[in-house]
A = this chain, B = another copy of it.
Amino acid sequence: MDNKLQIETCKNCVWQSSVFSSLTEAQLDMVSHQKKHVVYIKGSSICRQGEKITHFIYMHKGLLKLFVTSENGRDQIVRLSGPMDFIGLLNTFYEPEYGYSVTAIENSSVCLIPRELMYDLVRQNGEFGLNLLQKSSKTANDIIHQRGLIHRKNLRGRVAYVLNELAGPIYKSPKFDLPVSRREIAELIDMTTENVIRILSEFRKDRIIDISGKTINIVNTELLEKIANHG
């Protein structure tokens, strides 16, 4: 299912996060030697809720979904993660198991860094710990604020919001292919699949977007923005 390959040293890695800038050359070498560069193809599972955490996941390229499976068996997507994100930052430091499952929803390129190595680096290098604290705080804060934002919106506002997120921060284009099913959109913004479809259809009828299959084209950006903000 997943296709792995090694690449060169971290020192001149073009995806190097500023988090690593505080590491000494020797420390970065340790990362270079122990990390594994891995490519996950769209649809493949990266880890499952409850599994032992053995590695930190640092994202280069692609898009992942983090989701929890709740009591009744339904999934709830907590966050979409893109380049420069650390996965498991919220768990890795206090629990041995993943608190959520992670799946690639685009072909994704990541680095796996052994958990123990990360622990050692933080112990050895306080500045690095500080950087991780910053990153971790920001991630947590973003998630909490985003969830609040979504819940204050009505359904039309929520759908408009994800479309804007996809067109903006994620794909940087008004025209894009949905990386997820309608059901997954529903899981991300806490509503039913039927209503996601219904509202997408409404937006189409109102000439706010064009839809053909998975392809979305945002025609009336201003109106969509207004719905996202007001709703």
Binding site for B on A (CB under 8 A): 68, 70-72, 76, 78, 89-95, 99, 119, 122-130, 132-141, 143-145, 147-148, 151-152, 190
Contacts and interface: CB of A to CB of B under 8 A. Distances in A.
A136 B140 contact: yes
A78 B144 contact: yes
Contacts of A137: 89-94, 136, 140
A78 B134 CA distance: 20
Contacts of A141: 90-91, 94-95, 99, 140
Contacts of A140: 90, 136-137, 139-141, 143-144
Number of copies: 2
A218 B135 CA distance: 42
A93 B136 CA distance: 9
B123 A127 contact: yes
B144 A93 contact: no
Contact of A144 (B90, B136, B151, B190): B90
A93 B148 contact: no
Given A90-B140, A123-B130, 11 more contacts: A76-B152, A90-B137, A93-B133, A94-B134, A94-B135, A95-B138, A99-B145, A122-B126, A126-B126, A129-B129, A144-B144
Contacts of A133: 93-94, 122, 129, 132-133, 136
A124 B136 CA distance: 19
B123 A119 contact: no
A158 to B, nearest CB: 13
Contact of A130 (B129, B134, B147): B129
A91 to B, nearest CB: 6
Interface centre among A99, A129, A135, A147 (most CB of B within 10 A): A129
Nearest to A134: B94
A94 B129 contact: no
A95 B137 CA distance: 9
A78 B144 CA distance: 8
